[in-house]
Amino acid sequence: MIEKDKGRLEVLARIEEYEKNGWFTKDVEEDPPTIPLTPDKVDYLNKKLSNKIATFFVNIGAKRFINNLVKNGQMVIKGIEGIENYEAIKDSGAILTCNHFNPFDNFAIHYALFPYMYRGNGKVLWKVIREGNYTNFPGLYGFFFRHCNTLPLSANFSTMKNFMVAMKVLLERGEKVLVYAEQGMWWNYRKPRPLTVGAFKFAVESKVPVLPIFITMNDSDKIGGDGFPIQEYTLHFLPAIYPDPEKSTKENMEMLKDKNYAAWKEVYEKVYGIPLTYSCDPDKIK
């Protein structure tokens, strides 16, 4: 029997502590210090030929890598529900939101969307990622993070100005951008967490819909190298949510955030058959 990984046990203990305190956006992983991302270190729109070439080949490799994960049982996709909701907005720019419970949960979304993307049609999935994942994530995954249509956030004001310009350009030309509105990644956490408004600001300012995605999990009968059961994923693509032209930017951001959370909550309670509750006092949720 494989012993459970000490690091994962520590993360689970932090998740329990953070939920009790209502710290839902805090990171539970001990990530290395972030290297600041300056404007000269990122080409958001892949304007440079070298980046276009790298991205082309990385996307081919990433698609093969993800398909092999599924083929070898390292990532288990149990089901994909509501894909017609994606089809309804496939020709529009859109913000996609998803619960964040694994460093590579976006691989599951890629897999579900392969019939629509990465087929020589110019359609790809763009991802907003944390600064540190772009600047100092090691090895093959780090190379993927830097050359797989990623949009790194940054503490640098000038870099973020370029980020916002790129976001607007992408949405206006019909691209799909995945944003983790929960912020920090909570490993194998099954509940939806309260959302932040940033993702919804992008949608409101570019007048595009938000497509909520919620991934539910159950333990498989296979044990991973960390000593924990490999999770079986079911992806739920939910109906798109649209900004209201009669509302202000702030009102729309709150409205989209609340509707997204409510949609996730409904799926959680239906699939798991239990009401959504947290261990913290309601007034501590922040």
Residue 282: pLDDT band by 50, 70, 90 thresholds? confident
47 phi and psi angles, rounded to 5 deg: -80, -30
Write the CATH number of the domain with boundaries 6-284. 3.40.1130
Q: Cα–Cα–Cα angle for 233, 78, 26, nearest 5°?
A: 5
Nearest to 177 by CA among 157, 203, 158, 154: 203
pLDDT digits (tens, 9 = 90+) for 16-56: 999 999 999 999 998 777 888 999 999 999 999 999 999 99
- Taking the C-alpha atoms of residue 74 and residue 83, their distance in angstroms, rounded to an integer, is 23
Measure CA 126 to chain center: 10
Q: Is 250 exposed, middle or buried, given 0-12, 13-18 or 19+ CB atoms closer than 10 A?
A: exposed
In the chain, where are the structural domains located? 6-284
pLDDT over 90 percentage in the chain: 84
> Do 215 and 236 contact (CB within 8 A), yes or no?
yes
Which three-class secondary structure state does DSSP give residue 166? helix
Residue ranges of E strands in 106-238: 125-129, 150-152, 176-179, 210-223, 229-237
Summarize pLDDT for 180-225 with one digit per residue, the tens: 999 999 999 999 999 999 999 999 999 999 999 999 999 999 999 9
Whether 80 and 193 have beta carbons less than 8 Å apart is answered as: no
8 Å CB contact between 75 and 66: yes
The model's confidence at residue 286, banded by pLDDT at 50, 70 and 90, is: low
Q: How far is CA 71 from the centre of its chain?
A: 22
The answer to whether the Cα torsion of 12, 273, 193, 277 is positive or negative is negative
**pLDDT for res 19:** 97
Q: Determine the pLDDT at residue 142.
A: 78
CA distance 51 to 284: 45
Distance between CA atoms of residues 24 and 13, nearest Å: 14
- Are the C-beta atoms of residues 61 and 148 closer than 8 Å to each other? no
- Rounded distance, CA 199 to CA 96, Å? 9
Confidence band of 10 (pLDDT split at 50, 70, 90): very high
pTM, two decimals, is 0.94
C-beta of residue 263 within 8 angstroms of C-beta of residue 238: yes
- For residue range 53-94, list pLDDT tens digits in order: 999 999 999 999 999 999 999 999 999 999 999 999 999 999
